[in-house]
Structure 1
Amino acid sequence: MKENPDSLRTKILDGAISLFIEKGIEKVTTRELTEHVGISRSHIYHYFRDWQTLCIEALSVVMLAELKEFTEEIALLHPQEKLHTLVRNYLPDTQGDIWQLYGSLWQLAAHNEAYAELARLMVQKWLELLAEIISAGIHTGVFRSTNAGRVTRQLSAIMNGYSDQLIVMPSAEARQEAMDDILDFVGLVLEK
């Protein structure tokens, strides 16, 4: 029985994501993917122009799904709770799967414009979410009136700096210290 083209394409992407999480993007080969999924190499290149296109699409799928899931998870929260939840989510407590994928993307983006484009898109999407939370908090009077764009950039830079450290040196103590520092900043800059 022939497999539906959309189903096979999804199967290839899911297989790629699984292997990328297990081994890292840079270490997965076409042969490993074909063996993992149980298809021929020609199937991969029938659905994806080249290996890079497949990698970028697989990363996009998992990263955008994670962002969507998180956005839905916080949708009904009060702006202050949304911001605190975002900070907790943003700071890794272990070298988890999604953080390893982001780390791989950043490494590839440093030398490849196609990966850099995806990295910029993901940064933009997370910045937009952060800006929406801050703006909603200002609008509802939960946060003090301030330059939302500037605070978004500052807070993003602080969170990224701490998350980079925690990816390399994860520990519960370091994560808690980072959380405390970031929430102190939020208190000083935003909270009434």
Structure 2
Amino acid sequence: MKENREALRAKILDGAISLFIEKGIEKVTTRELTEYVGISRSHIYHYFPDWQTLCIEALTEVMLAELKEFTAEIVALPPQEKLHTLVNSYLPDTQGDIWRLYGSLWQLAAHNEAYAALAQLMVRKWLDLLAEIISAGTEAGIFRSTNAARVTRQLSAMLNGYADQLIVMPSAEVRQEAMEDICDFVELVLKK
């Protein structure tokens, strides 16, 4: 019985994630989710106390999985390649599924404390990864000795500023300028 319960809960979360990726969080209704998963509305509220809880759990699951996958992909790279890969990932060529989910989360976070808490958690986790990369590069003698926390904040501000621009005005030219600016910053601040 416990396996069936956990399987149905996972099925609901997976369905929500699929629909959120396809349509955006704010455009998915309970009715769409129940039809998509093939369950009654009461099942959703049996496993989740309310719609917001379901949305936050689904977003948390997909965003933490994406961060874990990204971290695993770069684990064997030297620090300068990790940094370059992170920047490329943060400012992708096209607005993919995860990019759109983050955009939806940011919209919801502006007006809702629970979504804001998730947004802050994800920002903190990405900042921690960025700080780890900078610290590892400094320890390996690849980057100059610096205040990793400060450089992380500065680089994060640049990345988020350009990401906001690219959400509003996606273009190859804007992305290229952003990449050049960030590379220049890294050269000035971190390179020996």
Alignment of 1:1-192 (within 5 A): 4-192=4-192
TM-score (norm 1): 0.96
State the superposition RMSD in angstroms.
1.2
TM-score (norm 2): 0.96
In the TM superposition, residue 173 of structure 1 has moved relative to its aligned partner by 2.4
Residues 21 and 97 in structure 1, CA contact (< 8 A), matched pair in contact too: yes
CA distance in 1, matches of 2:140, 2:93: 32
Aligned residue type for 1:79: P
Aligned residue type for 2:85: T
In the TM superposition, residue 168 of structure 1 has moved relative to its aligned partner by 1.9
In the TM superposition, residue 92 of structure 1 has moved relative to its aligned partner by 2.4
CA distance in 2, matches of 1:126, 1:187: 21
CA distance in 1, matches of 2:141, 2:77: 15
Residues 92 and 170 in structure 1, CA contact (< 8 A), matched pair in contact too: no
**5+ residue gaps, structure 2:** none
Aligned residue type for 1:154: Q
Residues 93 and 166 in structure 1, CA contact (< 8 A), matched pair in contact too: no
CA distance in 1, matches of 2:114, 2:58: 13
**Which range is displaced more, 166-175 or 139-148?**
166-175
CA distance in 2, matches of 1:76, 1:149: 23
Question: Matched residues, percent identical?
Answer: 83
Structure 1: 4+ residue segments shifted above 6 A? none
